[in-house]
Amino acid sequence: MALYDKTAHELHALLTAKEISASELTAEVLKRVDEAEDKIGAYLEITRDKAAADAKAVDDKIARGEAILPLEGIPCAVKDNICTKGIRTTCASKILENFIPPYDATAYIKLAAQNPILIGKANMDEFAMGGSTENSAFHVTRNPHNLERVPGGSSGGSAAAVAGGEAVFALGSDTGGSIRQPASFCGVVGFKPTYGRVSRYGLVAFASSLDQIGPLTRDVTDCALVLNAICGHDDMDSTSTAAQVPDFTKALVADVKGLRIGLPKEYFVKGIDAEVETAVRNVAKKFEGLGAEIVEVSLPHTEYAISTYYIIAPAEAATNLERYDGVSYGARVDGADIVEMMTNTRTEKFGAEVKRRIMIGNYALSAGYYDAYYLKALKVRTLIQRDFTDAFKDVDLILTPTTPNAAFKLGEMTSDPLKMYLQDICTVPVNIAGLPGVSIPCGFTSDKLPLGFQLIGKPLDEATILRAAFTYEQIS
C-alpha cells in the first residue's frame, strides 16, 4: 500500500520507528496531489511551502529524540470555510475570493497544536450550501471512486482528498449532513460531533444553530484521534459546551454486547435505494451477531425534517450573509451609489444557490410570514428533538442509512434543487436535534460505489458511537 493511502495511526508508528520521515511522507502526498488533482480537484489552495517547512520541523524534533504527538507530521486538508490565518479562505465563493483571515478558527488552532501537515484548503459548495460540491464558484470536485460521480457535499473536497490519497485526514463542517454524506459517497469515516463540542469560532457561519466542525478519516481510530484534537470548550464561542471531553481513543473497544441499537422505521421507506437498505440491514444483523440488541424505534416527525431544515437553515444563512455587503468583507463591485454598489456586489459575487437561500430565508423571516414559516419551523424542530429524546429512553444508538442512494452523477441534480434537498433526509434530523452522528463505510453497490451507514448517539455521547463503529470496522 502506498504511504499516502495509510491511516494516521499507521503512519505515526512508521514515523516513531523512524522508518519514514515526515518530509518523505509529505513529499509522497504532494506527488499524489500533483498526479490526482487534475482529475479529482479536491483543493482550492495547496500550501506546498508551508507543508515542506512544517514537515522539516517535525523531522528535526524526531532527530532530537523527542516524542511526537499522534497527528504530528500527518498530512491533512482543511475545508475552506475554516479560517486559517494568512492562508486564503474563500468558502468557495467569489465574494471571499481574496479573503486572507487575520486569525485562525479555534478548531484549527487546536488541530495545529498537534503539528499535522496542512496540504491545503479543500473545495466545497459555496458557503457550504449544497450536497455535491458542484456549487463551488471555482471548480467541481470528482469522486475518486468514479470520476463521473459527485463526491457529495458540501465537504466534498475534504472527503475526496481523504479517499483519493491527497490527505490522510481532513476537517469538514456539517450543517445538514455535509460531513456524513460526502463521507458515505467517498467511502470514508465522517463524524459530526454534538452541537457545541467543537468551537465554531472562525468557521464561516452558514446556519449557526446547526453548523459543526468534524473529522473525515480513513478509519474510526483516526476519527477518535482528530476528535481528541479539536473538541473542547472555547470562550470565543458562546454555544460551545463546558462538558468534559473524554479521551475518545478509550472508546475504541471491540464490544457491543448488551448495546441497544434502534432502527427507526421512518428511515426505511420509499425513496431509499434497495441496495442501501440491504446494506444497512446487514449492518444491523452484524451488530446483532456481536451481541447487540436491535429494536425498532419510531421518530414520527421525520417526514417534516427537510421542510424544517430548509426554513431554519436559509433563515439563519440570510442573516449571516448580510455582512457581505461590499464594505465589511471581501469583494466589491462598484455602483452609482451605495445601494447600487451593494446590489451589484451581491448579484455578481454570490452564486445561484446562495442567492436562492438568501431569498428563501428573508421570505421566511419577513413580517408577514414569520409566524407561518420560521416560528412554525422552530416548533417542529422541538418535536423532532423530542422524537429523539423519546427514542433514546429505550436505545443507546440509532442506526440508519446515511443517504438514500450512493453517489449520483455530476450534473444529475443541478437543475432540480428540490431533488438535491431530498438527499439530506437521513442527515438533517441529527443537526436539527444537535446530536452526534457518524457515517461509516459498509461496502459497495453493484456499480462499485461506496455505501455508508449512520449511527446517531445521545447528546455528548460520541464515545458510544465510536465504540460501535470501531466494533463494526473490526469485523468488516
Quick one: 143 or 154, whose CB is closer to ligand GLN?
Answer: 154
Cα–Cα distance, 101 to 123 (Å, whole number): 17
Quick one: 176 or 436, whose CB is closer to ligand GLN?
Answer: 176
CA angle 280, 178, 12 (to 5 degrees): 85
Least Å distance, CB 314 to ligand GLN, is 8
Least Å distance, CB 359 to ligand GLN, is 15
Q: Which of 6, 21, 23, 79 is catalytic?
A: 79
Least Å distance, CB 377 to ligand GLN, is 14
Quick one: 174 or 222, whose CB is closer to ligand GLN?
Answer: 174
Quick one: 156 or 232, whose CB is closer to ligand GLN?
Answer: 156
Quick one: 89 or 175, whose CB is closer to ligand GLN?
Answer: 175
Q: Which of 23, 93, 132, 154 is catalytic?
A: 154
Quick one: 22 or 128, whose CB is closer to ligand GLN?
Answer: 128
Sheet architecture: strand order including 213-217: 43-46, 117-122, 75-79, 169-173, 213-217, 189-192, 437-444, 450-457, 397-401, 260-264, 293-297
Does position 159 interact with ligand GLN (CB under 6 A)? The reply is no
Stretch that binds ligand GLN, among 47-55, 123-131, 143-151, 232-240 (CB under 6 A): 123-131
Cα–Cα distance, 458 to 197 (Å, whole number): 13
Stretch that binds ligand GLN, among 6-14, 114-122, 172-180, 341-349 (CB under 6 A): 172-180
Cα–Cα distance, 168 to 222 (Å, whole number): 9
Does position 156 interact with ligand GLN (CB under 6 A)? The reply is no
Instruction: Build a one-symbol-per-residue string for 398-437: x at contacts with ligand GLN by CB under 6 A, - elsewhere.
Output: --------------------------x-------------
Does position 215 interact with ligand GLN (CB under 6 A)? The reply is no
Tally of CA atoms within 13 A in the half-sphere of 347 that contains its CB: 9
- Is 209 catalytic? The answer is no
- Is 79 catalytic? The answer is yes
Quick one: 117 or 150, whose CB is closer to ligand GLN?
Answer: 150
Q: Which residues contact 188 (CB under 8 A, 6 or more apart)?
A: 159, 162, 163, 216, 217, 218, 441
Q: Which of residues 276-315 bind ligand GLN (CB under 6 A)?
A: 313
Does position 41 interact with ligand GLN (CB under 6 A)? The reply is no
Quick one: 283 or 433, whose CB is closer to ligand GLN?
Answer: 433
Whether the Cβ atoms of residue 284 and residue 261 lie closer than 8 Å to each other: yes
- Among 84, 175, 345, 439, the residue binding ligand GLN under the rule CB under 6 A is 175
Does position 84 interact with ligand GLN (CB under 6 A)? The reply is no
- Among 29, 77, 105, 128, the residue binding ligand GLN under the rule CB under 6 A is 128
- Among 130, 232, 429, 436, the residue binding ligand GLN under the rule CB under 6 A is 130
Does position 51 interact with ligand GLN (CB under 6 A)? The reply is no
Rg, C-alpha atoms of the chain: 21
- Among 178, 217, 402, 471, the residue binding ligand GLN under the rule CB under 6 A is 178
Least Å distance, CB 153 to ligand GLN, is 6
Whether the Cβ atoms of residue 330 and residue 98 lie closer than 8 Å to each other: yes
- Is 21 catalytic? The answer is no
Instruction: Build a one-symbol-per-residue string for 308-347: x at contacts with ligand GLN by CB under 6 A, - elsewhere.
Output: -----x----------------------------------
For ligand GLN, the nearest residue by Cβ is: 178
Size of the site for ligand GLN (CB under 6 A): 13
Q: At what angle do helices 462-475 and 220-230 cross, to 10 degrees?
A: 160
Cα–Cα distance, 286 to 53 (Å, whole number): 46
Query: What residues are annotated to the active site?
Result: 79, 154, 178
Q: Which residues bind ligand GLN (CB under 6 A)?
A: 128-131, 154, 174-178, 206, 313, 424
